Structures are given as structure tokens and as C-alpha cells.
Structure 1
Amino acid sequence: MEYPLIDADGHYYEPDDCFSRHIEARFKDETVRVERGADGLGRVFLRGGRTFMSVMPGDYASAPGALEGLFAGGVADGFTHREVINARDYPEFTQKPARLALLDEQGLEATIMLPTLGVAVEYDMRDDVELTYASLRAFNRWLEEDWGYGDDGRIFAVPMLSLLDIERAMTELHRVIDAGARLVHLCPGPIGGRSPADPLFDPFWATVAEAGIPVVFHVSNSGYNHFYGTYWSENPTNPSHLQSPLQWALCNTERPVVDTLIALTLHNLFGRHPDVRVVSIENGSSWLKPLFKTIDKAAALGRRGPMIGGKLPGEPSRALAEHLWVCPFPEDDVNELIDAIGADHVLFGSDYPHPEGLREPRDYIPRLAGCNAEITRKVLRGNTAGLLGLPDRAPASPVRLPEPRAGGR
């Protein structure tokens, strides 16, 4: 490779005070807090009760890429930890200066940085609107302080937003845009009984479109265990590490984002806001091609029914394809994804340093072995550069990156 890569799916492990450091005093005892026991593990509490993410995820984690066998189909014993680490022993997982140094070693010019704990707690507080927004504001202020929104051109952290209350959502959206955010995150799934494409939320979508801010949907706790899994004999209080096989199939991974993309398309978000850009990160991609067919068939069958977002185009799947960018799982067939949506809308992501990701970001390169140089550059760099507003030009002196480390997938 003669150019640096841009990773669309990087992560940090949060500190204990990521929600409490900047929270208003009256919410300090109610928001997400961490209590450490004699074993050193941080238990996560919200309003005095345990959360979906019951233990701070970095306290007892597997090393980057340690679960590759499970997702490649070679191991079948579930989320058993391998090569156990504590993220606090690895500054590059928790501190920006160390991560910047690691980016240089990994041959990365830049990376999008997403939460680990942060995507798992919003649903559990949605019954309290004030607490939800106080907590998200506090988290975003911690994020700005510790990681930043990309002023350095390298680390682009993504602030957490919610559409639970449109006025509060707009206040925080304007604040993070003024603070320099290049992307914003929404939890996949419905919001308080409404589609995220409900016209009630048009001020939000109009603002991100005008500002050129893509909206990221990253795998999250979308609440499907509570409002969906309970209809299938499942325990809605199972924590993240004790999800059942059926819960993984019906309530997690792809289903929330697929439902969300269906709603955005068939509620005509893209017809009302043609400049909106939506990014799916760490939700996989094998569902995309059949989703296009499902959307067009549903639009045809329902053409006489109500259309709360306005009249749909003849092939609404085309609208989705034009407005969607997808970062697949490392184990997904990237060539199949390119065929489905086009090379201009596919992003490379390592999920580093999570155990279900890659041991090294460069381990992704062999997956593009059958692609020509132009497509390879788009996926590894150009497409994400475009979303972040970075120039995609060759460096003045070509950068010869080291070979991927042996042992990667």
C-alpha cells in the first residue's frame, strides 16, 4: 500500500467517569456510574440498578481479534474470553496520545472512534427524558475533552444523540456541530413509539443535511429484548454477555438496523431530505441485497395505504442505495457488498481493539485482493475521507506501509 488507510470502525474503552465527570449535580446519583469491587471489576449501575452492559467492558476483555475463529466459523463455543486483557493496561485503548502513536504504527491516517459502553445504555433510561439528555450531554462533553471530533484530522469521535425529545435533540445537535462534530450517532430502532423518519423529526434531519453531517447507526442496545424478545419466551433482563441464541438472532446485530433502514426508506426520509447521508457501522452487510428487494416489494404492495412521510418513488431501494454507506463485518463478503451497493458506498472498518474485530487494521487488505486499485483505494480510504470531509489525494511522498502482521485473518 502506498497510501495511509482510514478506518471507519475504531473504538475506545471508556473510563469510569465518562457519564459522571460532566453531569449536572442533580443527576449525578441517577446517571451511569461504576462501582469497583474487591476483584477490581467495575459494575455498571443506572439509577441504582444494573444495566445491559453489567461490567465495564474493558475490565475483562479479549485481546483485539481474539474471537476471530468464532466469526470465521471455526469455533462454536460462544463469547468465551480468549487472551484476556484489561484495557487500562493498554493506553492506546483509553488515551488519545497513545492511540495517535498507534495509528502511525498501523498505517492509518485517521479513524472514526465509537463507544463501547456508551452504545449500550440509552435505552435503559428512555423513560426519563431529562436524565437521558443530561447523560448524553455529559458523555459528549467527556468525549470532546478526551478524544475530540477530528480537529487534528486523525481521530474523529462520534457524539451520541437521541430523538426522544425533538427540542432537546436539536439543542444538543447544534451544540456538537458548533464543537466541530463531523458525524453524529443515533441508536437504531424506534424512538418512543415513533419511526426515526417520522416528520416530527424533520428539523433534525434538515439540520444534519444542511450541515453535511452523516448520521451513524452503530450496533447498540436498541431495546428489542424488552419490546420484542418478550413475545418469544425470552428474559428481557439478560445482560449483554448472557444473551440467548434467539436473542442474538431476533433482538441484536442486524435486525434493529434493518428495521431502521426500512423505516427511513418507506417513510420517505430521503424524498423529504435528499442531502441526508446515513452510515451503518458494525451491523454487518449480508442483509443488504435482500433488503433492497423487500423494500421495493413492500412499496408496491402498500401503494394504496397511508404514507406518513409522503409519496414514495417507483423504486425506493434506489433512494436507500444513494443515501447509505455500509461498513461490513470483517467476516462479510466485501465483493458481494460492492456488487449490491457499489464501490463508492463501502467502507473499511477493523472494529479495533474489540475482540470480534481484526488483530490489525491492515489485516483487511487481503479481502480486497480481487478488486482493482481504484476500488481498493475507495474502500480503504477514499469513501470514508469523503464522509469526514478529508481530501483524498496521494501524499507528496508515497507512504510505504509495513506488511500486515502474520497471524491476522
Structure 2
Amino acid sequence: MPYATGRVFHDADSHVMEPADWLAAHADEALKARLGQRQTAERIEQGVATARARKGDAEASRTAAENLISGPKGWVAYGAFDAEERTRALDELGFSRQLVFATSSLGPFRTSSNPDVLYGGARAHNRAMAAFCADERLIGVAFVPLDDPKRALEEAEEAIRLGCGAIWVPSTPAGERSPGHPDLDPFWQLLADKRIPFMLHIGPGSRVLPAEYTNNGKPRSPDLHGGGENLRFKDFVVLPFSAQMFLAALIYDGLFDRVPDLRGGVIEFGAAWVPGFLRQLDLGYRSFGKTDPLIKAFSMKPSDYIRKHIKFTPFPGEDAGYLIRDAGADLFLFSSDYPHPEGTNDPIGRFERTFEGLSEDDRERFYSKNFEEMMGAF
């Protein structure tokens, strides 16, 4: 019996857990050595080795495939990086579609000051993602930096040609430009024309907490799961700020009026902040609208741009029912975060416990319809 039953479920956030050689296998020759130098923790290497050894053990594979949500997560999880396993994992999970994001493979190139490394790494990532997502139910999320508008357009075109179904862009300035700068209009227009949504997702560059705040005279705290690679409390508190700045820039710069068919998702930033963000946007609109010519040119109030163009994934621990009742059923998406442990051992159950009083249409929107709208109904 699949984990998810009784309705259509689309999963707006899942991941591939990349082995150390994941990028290099798909890189151009000049970058193979550079992108093959990823350093991984011993526990990750052990997880990859365990998962690969399981491949030849029918009983171990069967046990892992039947214990997905409540079983081991991370690199040892079933389908974590093996495409054949992932197809069966999707059957066992019961999801009709699943967006697939990178986990750690952006690190070797994302912050490089060399544009050839930055964009060459992105192309290697996108090739690897397209290969992993050969099953049409898996929607590979390409990664495209916006620093160079011309190269961003080229990489987006190539990612779409490869079969990627969404484009992850950093929730940061686009090099020295705002992401709503007209120089990037051809990139955004391509996505709109091809019905390919952009994605914001936690990752390199999305954390806005200055490093000085970690210098508190105390030992470094463990991360969310007791290790060293993930979020800490201070990071978590400011997690959505980069997404808020990015979206505010797109609205203020008039992008959604210039590219009215563009759609996007804000994934794994949580959503408890969304109702207040909508109110803050509209307060600014009322406060500055009489004097600011850019705001006077808006065709609708800022919160309406968000409702038309953007969807959000709540964390399983948030009161998603309250968010829907407060901000509306048209904004939020279901996600499992598989095989990351943050997705918990029962995301559907956790969301459902907050859904008292919601209608069947509200639930349908959350589990499938909003996803289909974001994706252009495939």
C-alpha cells in the first residue's frame, strides 16, 4: 500500500542525494577535475557505500522500498541517488509528480568568481539532474545563476532542451543587478513562454545572517539534526528573508507586468511568514503609492501579484491549516522533502492535523491543484 492514497498528491519538494562523483560524470572535460574534488563527510561516504551495496541484495532492497517515509533518510535512503530505485520509491510514496532539487552538488561552483566555473558547473548539474529524472513523473529542477543575463538565458535554454521542468535561481541579487532588471527579461520571458516555473530554494547564498552573529563566545552549536551541515537556530529565524527580498524586487521592478505569464515557487523556506509578508507588501503600497512613480505604475496591489504568480511550501511542523484560513487556499503546496529528514516520518499526517474545518476544495488545492497551476498543468 503506498504511503499517499485517496487523492492525487504532487510533491513540490524532494531531493537527490548526490555522491561525490555526481557532477564530474556530467562535466565538460575542462571542469571534470575541478568538479570532482567534492569533499564529503565520512558518514555520507558510508551512506553511499551502504546504498550501493544494497543494490545487489534483493531482501535489503525490498525492506528499504517498503519503509520509505518512516525509514532511514539521507544518502542511505531508497532512491536517494539511484534513478531506478527512485522510480520504485515514487510508486511506494504514492505521489503523481515530484519536483527534484539538488542537495549538495551546487557547493563546488555556486560561489565561484570564475564565470566559466559557475556556468560550467550549472550545466554539469543540469545534465546530471535530467539523467536522474528520466521517469516523466520526476520533474528535474535545473539550476541557473543570473549573474550574466546572456549566459543565464543560454543555460536555461539548454536545461529545458535536456528535459528539466523547472529552473532554480538563487534568491540573491543577480550579480550587480536586481533580478527584476530589464537585462534579464529574455530569461524570464523564456520561462513564461515554455511554461517553466522558476524556483527559490534554500541553498548557497540564500542565508542572510552575517557571519559575525555566529561569533558569540560559545562553542558552535549542532545543526538541526545534531550534525554540522544544516541550519542552526539563528539561521532558521531569518531563513525567509532572502526570498522576501527577491520577490519584493521582482514586484517593485515591474517584472510581473512585463512578463504576465511567469510563475514560480518558494520552496523549503517555510510559510509561516507569508501572511505577514503579504500585509507588509500592501502596507508599503499604500504608504508609498502616492509619491513613488514605480508603484503608481503597478497594475494591481503587491499581494495580488503574489497570488497570481507564486506558491509556497509550508514546513510539516507549521500550522498549514491556519495559513490557508488566513492567507487563502490558492498559495500553498504539499511537499515531503524526501529523502531529507526535515520532511519528517509523516508529512501528510502532520498537515492533516491542522486542517480541521478546511473544505475538500482547500485540500485539493494544497495537494495537487496549486502545483498544477504553478507547473502549467504539465
Question: TM-score, normalised on structure 1?
Answer: 0.74
Once residues 194 and 154 of structure 1 are traced to their aligned partners in structure 2, the CA distance between those partners, rounded to angstroms, is 35
SS of the aligned residue for 1:113 comes to: strand
Whether the 8 Å CA contact 1:114–1:157 is kept in 2: the answer is yes
Equivalent residue for 2:87, pick from 78, 88, 100: 100
Going from structure 1 to structure 2, the CA distance change for 1:330 and 1:25 (only over 3 Å counts) comes to: same
Greater share of residues in helix: 2
Greater share of residues in strand: 1
Q: How far 1:161 sits from its partner (Å)?
A: 1.0
Aligned amino acid, residue 5 of structure 1: F
Once residues 312 and 121 of structure 1 are traced to their aligned partners in structure 2, the CA distance between those partners, rounded to angstroms, is 40
Q: How far 1:206 sits from its partner (Å)?
A: 1.0
More divergent stretch after superposition (161-170 vs 314-323): 314-323
Once residues 8 and 84 of structure 1 are traced to their aligned partners in structure 2, the CA distance between those partners, rounded to angstroms, is 21
Question: TM-score, normalised on structure 2?
Answer: 0.80
| Counterpart check, 1:355 vs 2:341 | yes
1:135 aligned residue: 121
Aligned amino acid, residue 201 of structure 2: H
Equivalent residue for 1:163, pick from 107, 132, 146: 146
Once residues 332 and 369 of structure 2 are traced to their aligned partners in structure 1, the CA distance between those partners, rounded to angstroms, is 10
SS of the aligned residue for 1:197 comes to: coil
Once residues 88 and 243 of structure 1 are traced to their aligned partners in structure 2, the CA distance between those partners, rounded to angstroms, is 18
Whether the 8 Å CA contact 1:158–1:182 is kept in 2: the answer is yes
Aligned amino acid, residue 95 of structure 2: L
Once residues 6 and 242 of structure 1 are traced to their aligned partners in structure 2, the CA distance between those partners, rounded to angstroms, is 26
1:24 aligned residue: 28
Once residues 316 and 111 of structure 1 are traced to their aligned partners in structure 2, the CA distance between those partners, rounded to angstroms, is 29
Q: How far 1:332 sits from its partner (Å)?
A: 1.6
Whether the 8 Å CA contact 2:10–2:97 is kept in 1: the answer is yes
Going from structure 1 to structure 2, the CA distance change for 1:341 and 1:275 (only over 3 Å counts) comes to: farther
SS of the aligned residue for 2:18 comes to: coil
2:132 aligned residue: 146
Going from structure 1 to structure 2, the CA distance change for 1:292 and 1:119 (only over 3 Å counts) comes to: farther
Going from structure 1 to structure 2, the CA distance change for 1:388 and 1:24 (only over 3 Å counts) comes to: same
Q: Deviations over 1:212-256 (max 9, x none)?
A: 11111111122645xx60465759xx9963766434434xx2111
Q: How far 1:122 sits from its partner (Å)?
A: 5.1
| Counterpart check, 1:278 vs 2:259 | no
Larger RCO (alpha carbons 8 Å, 6+ apart): 1
Once residues 303 and 78 of structure 2 are traced to their aligned partners in structure 1, the CA distance between those partners, rounded to angstroms, is 43
Whether the 8 Å CA contact 2:79–2:89 is kept in 1: the answer is yes
Quick one: percent identity of the two aligned structures? 25
1:396 aligned residue: none
Whether the 8 Å CA contact 1:265–1:317 is kept in 2: the answer is no
2:96 aligned residue: 109
Aligned amino acid, residue 19 of structure 1: L
Q: How far 1:88 sits from its partner (Å)?
A: 4.7
Whether the 8 Å CA contact 1:10–1:350 is kept in 2: the answer is yes
| Counterpart check, 1:315 vs 2:319 | no
Unpaired segments of 5 or more residues in structure 1? 43-55, 61-82, 392-409
Matches within 5 A, 1:170-189: 170-189=153-172
1:241 aligned residue: 229
Going from structure 1 to structure 2, the CA distance change for 1:120 and 1:27 (only over 3 Å counts) comes to: closer
Whether the 8 Å CA contact 2:307–2:330 is kept in 1: the answer is no
Aligned amino acid, residue 163 of structure 1: L
More divergent stretch after superposition (324-333 vs 115-124): 115-124
Matches within 5 A, 1:254-403: 254-303=240-289, 304-305=291-292, 307=294, 311-313=297-299, 315-363=301-349, 364-390=351-377
Aligned amino acid, residue 315 of structure 1: K
